[in-house]
Amino acid sequence: MEKIWIIGIGRFGWLAFQGLSRGKKARHFVLVNSREENLLRCAAPNCSLEKGDGVTFLECNLNPGRGPGWIIPALPIHLAAEWLLARLGSERFCRVIPPPEIMSLLPNPKLGPEGNLYVSHADFMCPDDCAEPRDFCTVTGKRREKNMFEILRGLRFPPFQTLVLRSHQLGPGIGGYRPQHLFHLLEKVERSKGPYLVSTACRCHGVVTALERL
């Protein structure tokens, strides 16, 4: 049976759960949210409900070789970067604001209040159920010349090192990644000096967090 962790059961976590529950594949879901009422509306025999902070849950429960098949980040934070910070410790690493010069190198950049940089091929609100075709946009019909995860992997901005976690399409509008890819990211950070531009990205969108070693 495939195991899937959905971290965050707001609008997008709920849509992810609904979409993947309808499939014929046998799945068990672990749903994590700080609000009990959000969890209770998902109560089902194939679900485990975990009330609490998503980053803390991931830090305490994700272990190499013993995790789920997929993790779906559905919180209004950069889950992978926050997990890295939690694992590495605030005495070793900290978040920094990405250099403003990087904005001109990326499509439709927007700096969030928490210091994350959000990028997108779209300058409009995408549909919730986008199927993320390989080479074109479903809204405009225009060809996508390069995937966002490729753009971010190719980003060169010394002294920052670029590290990208790709989000894979699991269903229309639903993206996730394998636990082992998170641990590969952790290994890369631990092996190098930094600073880092840590990104999670699919074909169309991405989020970038700048980290540095203390």
pLDDT-based confidence at residue 78 (cuts at 50, 70, 90): very high
Three-state DSSP state, 119: strand
pLDDT in tens, 144-173: 889 999 999 999 999 999 999 999 999 999
Indicate yes or no: pTM above 0.85.
Answer: yes
pLDDT-based confidence at residue 203 (cuts at 50, 70, 90): very high
Residue type, 36: E
What are 150's two structure tokens?
A: 């490729």
What are 127's two structure tokens?
A: 């549909």
Q: Which pLDDT score, from 0 to 100, does residue 24 have?
A: 74
For residue 33, pLDDT over 90 is answered with: yes
Q: What is the mean pLDDT of residues 17-22?
A: 93
Q: Which pLDDT score, from 0 to 100, does residue 1 have?
A: 86
Give CA–CA dist 54/128, Å, rounded: 22
Q: 25: buried, middle or exposed (CB in 10 Å: 19+, 13-18, 0-12)?
A: exposed
Which domains, ranges and CATH numbers included, belong to the chain?
A: 1-76 (3.40.50.720), 77-214 (no CATH)
Q: What is the mean pLDDT of residues 103-121?
A: 95
Three-state DSSP state, 163: strand
For residue 3, pLDDT over 90 is answered with: yes
Q: Tokens 């609904």 appear where?
A: 18
